[in-house]
A and B are shown apart, each in its own frame.
Chain A
Amino acid sequence: MDPKPPISDMTVARPRPLSPNIQIYRPQLTSVLSIANRITGVMLSLGAVGLVIWLTAAAMGPRVYGEVHAVIASWGGRIILFGFTFAFFMHLCGGIRHLVWDTVHGFELRWIYISGWAVVVGSIALTWVTWTVSLLLAG
């Protein structure tokens, strides 16, 4: 008999390496927007905490509200609020895209890309409009 060990025994000695995945796979609009939807979702969850703080401060009276408002109105606060606004619109547009997909529409590669870029352009435009209007109203 041939004393050579079966292949399965040889693999036990040294586990096979796993070929790289995220480390080498090319980012594409498909995967980038998917991870963006996740990240904006996390940002919105954190933002919801901020929203509760803001509402609680409003309920606690003018002094506390004034302090919280000062933080929000500071440059740092505005940058965070701007990011939150963008996250809101990106997650909203992405969510609508997923709703359409759930009806089994828009799966042609062409439409996957058109709707994907629409999410990008739409969320930038909506953020811009919101801030322009807000800043104009605020004087």
Chain B
Amino acid sequence: MIIESSNQVPRVTLLKRFPVPRNFKVTPQSRIEKGRKWAAPAGASRTKTFEIYRYDPESEANPRIDLFEVDLDDCGPMVLDALIWIKNKVDSTLAFRRSCREGVCGSCAMNMDGTNWLACTRFISDMSKTATIYPLANLPIIKDLVPDTTHLFAQYEMIEPWLHAETPTPEKERLQSPQERSNLDGYYECILCFCCTSGCPSHWWNGDRFLGPAALLQAWRWLADSRDEAKEERLDTLEDPFRLYRCHTILNCTRTCPKGLNPGKAIAEIKKMVIEREA
């Protein structure tokens, strides 16, 4: 079927996961074990089961999958509401990040039913019969659904996401025509939730050296900025077999962006700009 926008949940799912062994490329301490089941409170008539990834750094145990039965009549409509309901009413040790609850802050990015999205903007009714919730893919886990994004922010820092200008600072602001400003549309809106980078297979295999879609989209945001004067230096940093060119245009990034942005296109723009400066 044709997906028109990234918020579309597929009507049919042919394959829930790739046909690889459960512990394919998984280090011993990352192996996921069976956890416990937390039953719905007595008297709950409309319940839904959530399978949730748990990891407790203070125990010696491996990560596990716990089953929670959520009382839908007592809970808000979004997945984040279900997580808050669980934390308030069932297991207060469940850890997850959240802040704005309206898709602006990017804190509650996680893997729901196999794809990355924000828990606050995903309807419970759009989830599978048994909903599965994992932390963002391919990241070191601090606790439960809280990943360590240090490396991703270090990669973001590498593209120097601030204005570089040699010309003397003007009296007022640096002017930009409406046309020049519109070049930033679709790029400046990134909230750094890292759904895209975490969903990028190329970043899974080469994340130590490949910058990943989130950082590269930001790199393009500065390359596209008419006020920035460091285009050459920025391209020098990016033009590298790994940093930029490990992108094989898989486009999981564009499919998963909760803000509907297009990291895949941004990276193609960078590649084109590199070619054009050499021509």
Contacts and interface: CB of A to CB of B under 8 A. Distances in A.
Interface of A: 10, 14-32, 34, 98, 101-104, 107-110, 112-114, 117
Q: Per DSSP, are chain B's interface residues mostly helix, strand or loop, or mixed? A: loop
Contacts of B262: 107-109
Contacts of B57: 10, 14, 16
Nearest to B113: A26
A102 B271 contact: yes
Interface residues of B, number: 61
26 contacts: A15-B140, A16-B57, A17-B140, A18-B26, A18-B27, A19-B53, A22-B18, A23-B20, A23-B26, A24-B134, A24-B137, A25-B199, A26-B115, A27-B14, A27-B18, A30-B255, A31-B201, A34-B201, A102-B272, A104-B265, A104-B268, A107-B254, A110-B2, A110-B3, A112-B254, A112-B264
B135 interface: yes
A53 B177 CA distance: 63
Nearest to B257: A109
Q: Chain B CB within 10 Å — which of A10, A15, A28, A34 has the most?
A: A28
Given A18-B141, A109-B5, A23 B24 contact: yes
B218 interface: no
Contact of B17 (A15, A26, A110): A26
A26 B114 contact: yes
A17 B30 contact: yes
Given A25-B199, A27-B15, A18 B269 contact: no
